[in-house]
Amino acid sequence: MSILVNKNSRVIVQGITGSEGDFHSKQMLEYGTNIVGGVTPGKGGQYAVDEKIRVFDSVEESVDQTNADTSIIFVPPPFAADAIIEASYAGVEIVVCITEGVPLHDMIKVKQVTNKNGTRLIGPNCPGIITVDECKLGIMPGFICKKGSIGVVSKSGTLTYEAIDQLVNVGLGQTTAVGIGGDPIIGTTMRDCLELFEKDPDTEGVVIIGEIGGQMEIEAANWAKDNMSKPIAGFIAGQTAPPGKRMGHAGAIVSGGNDTAEAKMKVLSDCGISVSESVADIGRIMKSLMN
């Protein structure tokens, strides 16, 4: 099995006629993702991605015509929030937003709408999600993955790829890898993903990759301590970051409390998570937990 998406997910691409939407739609189709339509206002009736995918003017129309249940968004930051909200009101169950730089006040409104409608949002500012050999939504390189039993959840796109590569190198494949994004306000949290992986019978272990700033890793660790039956390997990026300075992601800023890398690593360890001090040891630690 998997979490969130699989070979049966019926996907629409919002912004499919743009350069990013076109390029990554081709990659997703090649991986086997079931893309059933695209959305670009004003271009309804056209066909995109080498004339393979029908374009609709609205998400509502595309859902009515294709029974889509999943959407991935490749639109510029000023329009990303409206795209998420449109998908939510159209009844799309899973929405993945790749867009970086979505204004914070826009995301406050997005969270209100998605929570009200029961929409599962991944992102924004994330690499997407991949269920190995079934469905790829976003910009993750599918060729580095191998089907297996380890779930991956990460705030960082590049560290997601690094973790996957390390797992493969030690002989461990993945069920689903989720890049949740590093913005201050995102849709799906690390704890949400742990809950889903705990319920997935094919996931036997989980790798979590966090970073400085915020409380998400701490909340996930505290939940896992009392509820997770599967082994977890963890890593916190930003161990040398100076206090008060943003590092990379908009949410990666230490305020001086328990959101430093050192503090988070201690909490994770106290909650039974095997913490790696170096990103280079993630695969090895996960392997040791599976033996």
Helix (H) or strand (E) holding 43: none
List b or e across 197-211, with b for residues whose CB sees 16 or more CB atoms inside 10 angstroms. bbebeebbbbbbbbb
Report the SS3 class of residue 54: strand
Report the SS3 class of residue 118: coil
Instruction: Give me 157's structure tokens.
Output: 């796109």
DSSP letter string, 5-30: --TT--EEEETTTSHHHHHHHHHHHH
What is the DSSP secondary structure assignment for residue 280, as one 8-state letter? G
Annotated catalytic residue, options 24, 120, 155, 249: 249
| Catalytic-residue membership of 249 | yes
Report the SS3 class of residue 97: strand
Question: Measured between alpha carbons, how far is 116 from 120 in angstroms, rounded to an integer?
Answer: 11
Show which residues are catalytic.
249
